[in-house]
Amino acid sequence: MNLTDEQQQILCGAKGEFLATCMRWLVEWGDAMGAQRLVPVANTHALVTVPGNLVYGAGDKPLERSLDLLHAVCQHQVCGHCTTHITFAHEEQYAEIDMPSEQVEAQQQVMQAASEAGFLMTHTCAPYLVGNVPLKGEVCAWTESSAVVYANSILGARTTRHGTESALAASILGVVPEFGVLLDENRLATLQIDVTTPLRTPTDWGALGYFTGRAAGLEVPVLHGTPQPTQEDAKQLCAALASGGGVTLCHIAAVTPEAPTLEQALGGRHPQRQLTFGDQERRAAYAELRTHTDDCIDTVILGCPHASLHEVAEVARHLKGKRLAPGVTMWVCLAYATRANAERLGFARTIIDAGGYLFCDTCPTNSMRLEATRMVTPSFKQAHYARGMIGVEVIVDNLRGCLAAAVSGRWHDGQ
């Protein structure tokens, strides 16, 4: 990779050992990916997952490693518009959940360190819902796969899929290696998905994303024939694209800012592959994440990625004057900023009165020991990971189906 004199000096330790290490991470990553240079970045989103690691195990001393890293970062100023998502429950919620004391302590230490480093702690996997909304063409360094796909595909910003170390390094060095979707030529679609079945709910968009992610792997797909998505549709689509496969960018013809037409998404070329997402494929996607052996459910997880205010309002409307079935626990995961709005608008009270939890700034799968046997969720991503990470039986269904199950204690297939 071609480095400027200043970058070369930092790499050689002119500004201290830690910045040299950060530069080495970016340079080695760039070299491995074929980058020619480092380019400026002023919008980063770093994910710190220490507590989740504590719960589920992630090798040797994950807490110490993360804290050392953050304390080193905090000796430097973050540059530009840098937010962070630390996956832990908001401190007001410690009493509500089964959270080990070492996890509480870890969360507080990590939050303090990140704050001192200068990060704006939005504490959400959906930073675009609470103020970090990059513009078309803006180079970013974001972690969290669903947010990365959203930034590239819906906002037209440009970010490769970052890990914690690279996003933190980019936050203090202000550069990223230029490869992948940062370059025009790698943003053209090669796989065309013709959508021939109606997409009626955000969960149907999740089914499309799961199918497309599976088919695409690391390719750039373009979706053709879809209706205009809502923000909630787009959120489910992007999360499922990144959990069904390793997608970084997916064009939606006439929606993605740089793809006003199918032809422009493909760069005027024929697609290398063309598949159809029809009724059969939609049903198959749902069937893959319905692993239940019985219709009785005990857990409902909403807000993956974190719920928008619209989703919270819809949940409240459905639950007004109702109660969750005995033995059913319902989590609505969301950013603190969204919960504050929901409280002010009365939605939070309605959901709590019905027996639900508004769970900010993380999600049960990521940061607590979830005791669950059978879960319903409208999120393909949540179902995909909960199945593997906590070994729970999962049922993915649209929001109405999930809420009906929450109230009756039984899930019925309304499709």
Report the interface residues with ligand F3S, using CB under 6 A: 87, 125, 146, 239, 304-306, 333, 363, 365-366, 381-382, 385
Cβ 114 to ligand F3S shortest distance, Å: 16
CA proximity to 100, closest of 65, 59, 57, 68: 57
Provide the minimum distance between the beta carbon of 333 and ligand F3S in the complex, in angstroms, as a whole number.
Answer: 5
Least spacing, CB of residue 242 vs ligand F3S, in Å: 9
Q: Tokens 């050689």 correspond to what residue? A: 12
- Could you tell me the two tokens for 198? 């109606």
The whole-angstrom separation of Cα 182 and Cα 205 is: 26
Tell the smallest beta-carbon distance from residue 144 to ligand F3S (Å).
7
Nearer to ligand F3S, 15 or 369 (CB): 369
Three-state secondary structure call for residue 162? coil
Angle among Cα 258, 123, 90 to the nearest 5 degrees reads 155
d(CA 191, CA 208): 14
Q: How far is CA 408 from the centre of its chain?
A: 30
Residues 6+ apart with CB under 8 A from 103: 51, 54, 55, 88, 367
Instruction: Compare residues 132 and 366 and give the one whose CB is closer to ligand F3S.
Output: 366
267/254 Cα distance (integer angstroms) = 14
Alpha carbons 11 and 152: distance in angstroms, whole number: 30
Q: Which is nearer to ligand F3S, 87 or 107 (CB)?
A: 87
* Shortest distance in whole angstroms from residue 220 CB to ligand F3S: 21
Q: Which is nearer to ligand F3S, 141 or 148 (CB)?
A: 148
Locus of tokens 């906002």 = 155
Residue 243 CB, shortest distance to ligand F3S, in Å, is 9
Q: Select 55 or 239, whichever has its Cβ closest to ligand F3S.
A: 239
Query: Between residues 201 and 367, which has the closer beta carbon with respect to ligand F3S?
Result: 367
Task: Tell the smallest beta-carbon distance from residue 355 to ligand F3S (Å).
Answer: 20
Bond prior to 305 in cis (omega within 30° of 0): yes
Which of 180/364 has CB closer to ligand F3S? 364
For residue 112, the one-letter residue type is Q
Residue 279 Rama label (left phi>0; alpha psi -120 to 50; beta): alpha
CB of 401 to ligand F3S, least distance (A): 19
Nearer to ligand F3S, 103 or 146 (CB): 146
Residue length, the chain? 415
- Write the single-letter amino acid at 364: P
User: CA 252 to CA 34: how far, in whole Å?
Assistant: 28
